[in-house]
């Protein structure tokens, strides 16, 4: 295979990826809870590692929202009222208006006891 052909293929692939990529900013809605403990975390602080970072605090139903987030992959820092901190990731899709991002500590925290694995 010659170089020009390979270059053409790569350019076509790049164009395809660019054309199909998400382009619309999205909202994020989620709740912070732990399904293993049946516990909600009102007052938890959720930090979305955009530049600059966006911070939301959970309401009494442990709900949080972010507005007009560009599609992409973000780290999410979660700080509970008791100062515990957690980190996970979030993919914001531009193909749907609202990305649902429930932060379940039962998922974020790796299992460490035998009634969890």
Partner 1 sequence: MTIPRFALLPLLLIAAVSPALAGLDDDAPFKSDGVTQNTPAPYIDGRAFSDNPSHAEAHTGLRLSPPTGTQLLSGQRFDLRVETQIPAQTPPTLVKLLVNGRDVTARFKAKIAAQGLGLESGTPKSPLQFGATARNLSFERAGLWTVAAVVNVDGVERSIENTYPVAHPPFGGRQAGPKHVVFFLGDGMGLPIRTAARLAGKGVFEGRGRGGLHMDRMDEYGLVHTSSFDSVITDSAPGMASYVTGMKQSNNALNVAVDNTPENSLDNPRVETLWEFLKRSRGWKTGVVTDAFATDATPAAVAAHSRARADRTAIAQQMLDFYQDGTAQPKTGYAALAELTQPLDVILGAGARDWLLKSNPDAKSFYQYQDKGRGDVDLFATVAPSLGYATARNLAELQAAPDNQRLLGIFSGEFRTTSSGLGADNIPAVLDRRVARGLATIRGKGAAAEEIGMAVAPPFGSGCGATVAECFRAVPSKQEMVEKAVAVLNRLAGKKGGWILLVEQSQTDKLAHILEYDRVIYEALELDESVGWVAKHLAGRSDALVVLASDHAQPETIIGVAMPGVIASAGAGACFSGAAYPLTLGSAADPDRPCALQDAIGTFNDGTFPTYASSRGDGYPDDPDPLVKLVLEDGGRPTYSTNYLTNYQPLEPTARTSALPNPKRAPDGLLMTGNMPTQSVKAGANKTEGNVKIAPHSADDVPLSASGRGAELFGGVYENAEVQVRIAAALRGQTRRSQLQLGSAYAGVPTATPAAKFLRGW
Question: Which residues of the shown chain bind partner 1 in the complex (CB under 8 A)?
Answer: 3, 6-7, 10-11, 13-15, 17-18, 21-23, 29-31, 33-40, 49-51, 61, 63, 70-75, 77, 82-94, 96-104, 106-112, 114-117
Minimum Å distance from CB 47 to partner 1?
A: 8
- The separation between CA 23 and the C-alpha centre of its own chain, rounded to angstroms, equals 17
- Element holding 29 (H helix, E strand): strand 26-34
Other Cβ atoms less than 10 A from the Cβ of 17: the count is 9
Rounded Cα gap, residues 57 and 79, in angstroms: 9
- Please, are residues 58 and 102 in contact by the beta-carbon 8 Å criterion? no
Rounded Cα gap, residues 45 and 66, in angstroms: 12
Minimum Å distance from CB 90 to partner 1?
A: 6
Minimum Å distance from CB 19 to partner 1?
A: 8
Minimum Å distance from CB 24 to partner 1?
A: 10
Q: In terms of CB distance, is 43 or 108 closer to partner 1?
A: 108
DSSP letter for 102, please: -
């Amino acid at each position: 295979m010659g170089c020009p052909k390979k270059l053409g293929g790569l350019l076509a692939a790049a164009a395809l990826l660019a054309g199909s990529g998400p382009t619309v900013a999205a909202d994020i809605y989620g709740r912070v809870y732990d399904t293993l403990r049946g516990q909600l975390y009102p007052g938890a602080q959720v930090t979305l590692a955009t530049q600059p970072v966006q911070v939301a605090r959970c309401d009494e139903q442990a709900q949080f929202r972010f507005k007009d987030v560009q599609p992409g992959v973000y780290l999410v820092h979660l700080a509970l009222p008791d100062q515990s901190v957690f980190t996970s990731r979030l993919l914001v899709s531009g193909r749907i208006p609202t990305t649902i991002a429930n932060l379940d500590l039962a998922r974020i925290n790796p299992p460490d006891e035998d009634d969890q694995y």
